[in-house]
């Protein structure tokens, strides 16, 4: 599979995984937009043996130097409103099986994967020793500055994405009787730091997932294959 092209066919049983940014729940990842993303993949499925995971990343925002009760309350309510609206769209349209859609917080991955703490530590240790990785993390950060909060935010995101692609956390399933593939999809480019850690083998790689090193950009309908790109 080459980088920069669309995926034409998803074979076998698997999972579409859509990480949801709290800042985009009313814009690029609104309930309506998420439903359209699902439509995009329907024609690519070899058969209807797939589940969809919506991963709410509000927990990442607690890696902040200023987290208050009001911030926690606000992000939780945003997630609840989004889930409710998305469920209503799916149930009203009657095109898909509602129980095949799963709404999970990012903490689900952190708490249910036995390797999260190990992988987070591996990335933190590498960041301290590897100036290239540290510089790339800064470029990937929202405000392009170095701080412990910014770095932890990104490292946690990278660890969670890698764990999901490697199949190191179990997901609930309705239609996917086998776990043959997992594809992470987001309306935006892949993190350069995630591509770097894959190419440098910072985290263990031992999955049969054909999309273990793939990030699908929903905004341009193309896949980035980490092993097929040159970082600049």
Neighbours of 204 (CB within 10 A): 13
> What is the distance between the alpha carbons of residues 42 and 40, in angstroms, rounded to a whole number?
6
- The predicted pLDDT at position 62 comes to 45
Q: In terms of pLDDT, which residue wins out, 169 or 74?
A: 169
Tell me the pLDDT tens digit for each residue of 184-227. Answer: 999 999 999 999 999 999 999 999 999 999 999 999 999 999 99
- pLDDT over 80 at 232, yes or no: no
- The predicted pLDDT at position 67 comes to 56
Provide the CB-side half-sphere exposure for 15 (13 A, CA).
Answer: 26
CATH architecture of 14-226: 3-Layer(aba) Sandwich (3.40)
- The predicted pLDDT at position 211 comes to 98
> What is the distance between the alpha carbons of residues 16 and 10, in angstroms, rounded to a whole number?
10
Partners of 214 in beta bridges: 225
Which residues of the chain form beta strands (DSSP E)? 14-20, 50-56, 101-105, 181-186, 214-217, 222-225
Domain assignments of the chain as residue spans, ordered by start:
14-226
Compute the C-alpha angle 119/183/114, nearest 5°.
Answer: 30
Question: What are 34's two structure tokens?
Answer: 């998420």
Neighbours of 89 (CB within 10 A): 14
User: What number is the average pLDDT over the span 3-29?
Assistant: 94
User: What number is the average pLDDT over the span 47-74?
Assistant: 74
- State the average pLDDT for the chain: 92
- pLDDT over 60 at 65, yes or no: no
Tell me the pLDDT tens digit for each residue of 102-141. Answer: 999 999 999 999 999 999 999 999 999 999 999 999 999 9
């Amino acid at each position: 599979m080459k980088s920069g092209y669309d995926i034409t066919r998803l074979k076998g049983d698997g999972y579409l995984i859509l990480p949801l940014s709290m800042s985009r729940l009313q814009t690029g990842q609104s309930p309506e937009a998420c439903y359209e993303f699902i439509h995009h993949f329907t024609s690519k499925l070899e058969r209807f043996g797939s589940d969809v995971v919506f991963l709410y990343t509000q927990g990442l925002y607690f890696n902040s130097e200023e987290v208050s009760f009001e911030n926690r309350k606000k992000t939780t309510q945003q997630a609840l409103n989004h889930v409710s609206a998305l469920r209503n769209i799916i149930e009203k349209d009657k095109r898909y099986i509602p129980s095949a859609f799963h709404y999970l917080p990012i903490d689900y991955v952190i708490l249910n994967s036995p390797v999260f703490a190990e992988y987070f530590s591996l990335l933190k240790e590498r960041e301290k020793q590897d100036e290239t990785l540290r510089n790339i993390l800064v470029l990937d950060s929202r405000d392009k500055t170095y701080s412990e909060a910014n770095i932890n935010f990104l490292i946690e995101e990278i660890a969670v994405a890698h764990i999901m692609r490697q199949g190191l956390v179990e997901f609930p399933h309705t239609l996917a009787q086998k776990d043959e593939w997992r594809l992470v999809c987001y309306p935006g480019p892949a993190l350069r730091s995630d591509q770097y850690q894959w190419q440098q083998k910072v985290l263990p790689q031992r999955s049969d997932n054909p999309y273990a090193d793939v990030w699908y950009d929903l905004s341009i309908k193309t896949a980035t294959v980490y092993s097929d790109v040159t970082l600049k």
